[in-house]
A and B are shown apart, each in its own frame.
Chain A
Amino acid sequence: QSVLTQPPSVSGAPGQRVTISCTGSSSNIGALYDVHWYKQLPGRAPQLLIYGNNNRPSGVPDRISGSKSGTSASLAITGLQAEDEADYYCQSYDSRLSVVFGGGTKLTVL
């Protein structure tokens, strides 16, 4: 049972928009700690996708965005492409547990 809750899977057709939610609590996301998002391709190490709730590292396209409100955060991907098929993880800090991850969401491009 992860401290941050994500849907196990989401899917969308090419060109569509999908969102992945990340629900926390008052000791992590709700305590104003930043949320970061990672993308993991099969057999590869995770890579940073969004940091500080809504900032993109160099090289991440602007069709990928993050947001945060209250005790939740979301990752949005527009113009879905085959290369977006991967596992996605949210991560934050918890005042009781330190670094915490979501359970991960598998994105399938139909």
Chain B
Amino acid sequence: EVQLVQSGPEVKKPGESLKISCKGSGYSFTSYWIGWVRQMPGKGLEWVGIIYPGDSHTRYSPSFQGQVTIAADRSISTAYLQWSSLKASDTALYYCARHGGIVGATDPLDYWGQGTLVTVSS
């Protein structure tokens, strides 16, 4: 069974750093792209970026380029989304999801993690 299990909720102060994780199981983690999606409170879905764990190739949405870093450790089948300096506007629910095809960004997001709530407040 394919599963993506995300790390728990985080409460941080503005300016702090943060890394959240997404562990894949039940499939070949290095063979499928993993995407990150943001959902701000009461709002819709926004694509953050994507990584191919096989070679750590990444692409970012222009809206998030330079604001976050996506990484992966294929030895433990885990993808990461990280911030070096959080802002209050980063407060949101962040989902990881698998692109279920061989191409990547054009493929549907067929399996989703449960989401990680990030709260940034002074």
A45 with B105: in contact, given A99-B35, A104-B45 (CB under 8 Å)? no
A87 to B42, CA, bound (A): 11
A101 to B112, CA, bound (A): 15
Contacts of B62 in A (CB 8 A): 97
Name the residue in A33, A45, A93, A97 with the highest tally of chain B Cβ atoms < 10 Å from its Cβ.
Answer: A45
CB contact list, B13-55 vs A, under 8 A: 35, 37, 44-47, 50
Q: Return B106 CB to nearest CB of chain A, in Å.
A: 4
* Interface size, chain B (Cβ < 8 Å): 22
A102 to B97, CA, bound (A): 17
A104 to B44, CA, bound (A): 6
Contacts of B95 in A (CB 8 A): 45-46
In chain B, what residue has the closest Cβ to A43? B115
Counting chain A residues whose Cβ lies within 8 A of the other chain, the interface size class is: 20 to 34
A45 with B114: in contact, given A34-B106, A99-B105, A101-B47 (CB under 8 Å)? yes
Q: Return B63 CB to nearest CB of chain A, in Å.
A: 9
Task: Please state if B112 and A97 are interface contacts (CB–CB under 8 Å).
Answer: no
Q: Return B47 CB to nearest CB of chain A, in Å.
A: 4
Task: Please state if B110 and A103 are interface contacts (CB–CB under 8 Å).
Answer: no
Task: Please state if A98 and B109 are interface contacts (CB–CB under 8 Å).
Answer: no
Task: Please state if A45 and B113 are interface contacts (CB–CB under 8 Å).
Answer: yes
Task: Please state if A98 and B59 are interface contacts (CB–CB under 8 Å).
Answer: yes
Task: Please state if B112 and A99 are interface contacts (CB–CB under 8 Å).
Answer: no
A104 to B100, CA, bound (A): 22
Interface set of A (CB-CB < 8 Å, partner B): 2, 33-34, 36, 38, 40, 45-48, 51-52, 57, 87, 89, 91, 93, 97-104
Q: A36-B109, A40-B45, A87-B44 are in contact. List 19 more A-B contacts (CB 8 A).
A: A38-B45, A38-B109, A45-B115, A46-B45, A46-B95, A46-B109, A51-B100, A52-B108, A91-B109, A93-B105, A93-B106, A97-B61, A98-B59, A98-B61, A98-B105, A99-B35, A99-B61, A101-B46, A104-B45
